[in-house]
Amino acid sequence: MRSVFGKYAANCVAFLLTATIDIVHADSGGRLLATGAATQIEGSAGGGIVPMAVLSGYDTRDEAGGTAFVSRVDTKDYRLDSIGAAWSWRNRVELSAARQELRLDTLAGALGVPDNTIRQNVFGAKVRLYGDVVYTATPQISAGAQYKKNLDFFIPSAAGAKDDSGVDMYLAATKLFLAGFADRNVLLNGVVRWTKSNQESLVGFGGDKRNSREAVFEGSAGLFINRHWLIGTEYRQMPDNLSFARAQDWKDVFVAWFPDKQWSVVAAWVDLGDIATLRNQQGWYVSIQGSF
């Protein structure tokens, strides 16, 4: 016998969150809604803090497309603004650029230094190696690199960071399981990143404790309540290279809204752990993305 409650619970949540806007026949590319994902803080297609194997925008193997985004993370003692754009070609290659600006008034005050901002440029490239996030039985797999250049290296070097620039390399596998859980579509994403960055390289690369690349794990899991709303969580392991302060792994829980193929909005509660001796950096994250 089929339980009325199970169906009711799922459909009830779906009803509550159903966006009134329906699928539009937009010009922004031939892929399905939400398959371009959002843009993570470093400018690659992904969630909030973790990249995915999917490429930005909605271009199929015969098209080109792209996105632009702004995002803000606001924790107790820090604020990180990111802005950027990505372009992808034939659902094969993604190129991205982002500028990040970290405000650290508390830390600057504590250190007694005038700089209260760290800016960073990120240039990313991603190549889809294999598969399709929706249609192949195996996950979509992509390889990516993010070149990052810290523009305000005074505080990072004081903290013990060795380099103001470096390259992260990653391999991502992403799969949408149609009707995968409670008849809802489930998104799973796993990333291995080779990096020696400190706090997403906002505190530079390498340190006194360790100055070589290591493999860290990042992952995301989400549940599509319906075609427009995704709830989920992310995890991003952090290297711990500096003896001056320990780095803790980042995590968040998020809600993403895809009203149509032009826009998406992500809101999250993030927990970045301790950053540069300031404890318990929890707070909000919001990002808005436009696709073309």
Ranges within 94-123 binding another protein (CB under 8 A): none
CB of 91 to another protein, least distance (A): 7
SS3 212: coil
How far is residue 274's CA from residue 5's CA, in Å, rounded to a whole number? 42
Q: How many residues bind another protein (CB under 8 A)?
A: 46
Question: What x-and-dash track marks residues 177-196 binding another protein by CB under 8 A?
Answer: -xx-xxxxx-----------
Does residue 212 touch another protein according to CB under 8 A? no
Give the nearer residue to another protein in terms of CB position, either 171 or 267.
Answer: 267
Give the nearer residue to another protein in terms of CB position, either 43 or 219.
Answer: 219
Which of the stretches 27-35, 110-118, 151-159, 200-208 binds another protein when contact is defined by CB under 8 A?
Answer: 27-35
**Neighbouring residues of 27: CB distance < 8 A, sequence distance ≥ 6:** none
Q: Which of 5, 20, 112, 212 binds another protein (CB under 8 A)?
A: 5
SS3 157: helix
**Please, where are the H alpha helices in 112-261?**
154-158
How far is residue 204's CA from residue 200's CA, in Å, rounded to a whole number? 8
Give the nearer residue to another protein in terms of CB position, either 1 or 114.
Answer: 1
Question: What x-and-dash track marks residues 29-68 binding another protein by CB under 8 A?
Answer: xxxx---------------------------xxxx-----
Sort 15 into a burial class: Cβ within 10 Å, 0-12 / 13-18 / 19+: exposed
End-to-end CA distance of the chain: 47
- Quick one: DSSP state of residue 215? E
Does residue 136 touch another protein according to CB under 8 A? yes
Tokens of 199: 């706090």
Does residue 138 touch another protein according to CB under 8 A? no
CB of 270 to another protein, least distance (A): 11
| Residue-wise burial string across 111-146, b where 16 or more C-beta atoms lie within 10 A, e elsewhere | beeeeeebebbbbbebebeebbbbeeeebbbbebeb
Give the nearer residue to another protein in terms of CB position, either 8 or 217.
Answer: 8
Does residue 13 touch another protein according to CB under 8 A? yes
Give the nearer residue to another protein in terms of CB position, either 183 or 214.
Answer: 183
Q: Facing residues of 40 across strands?
A: none
Binding site for another protein (CB under 8 A): 1-3, 5-14, 22-23, 25, 29-32, 60-63, 91, 132, 134-137, 178-179, 181-185, 223, 225-227, 231, 233, 253, 255, 269
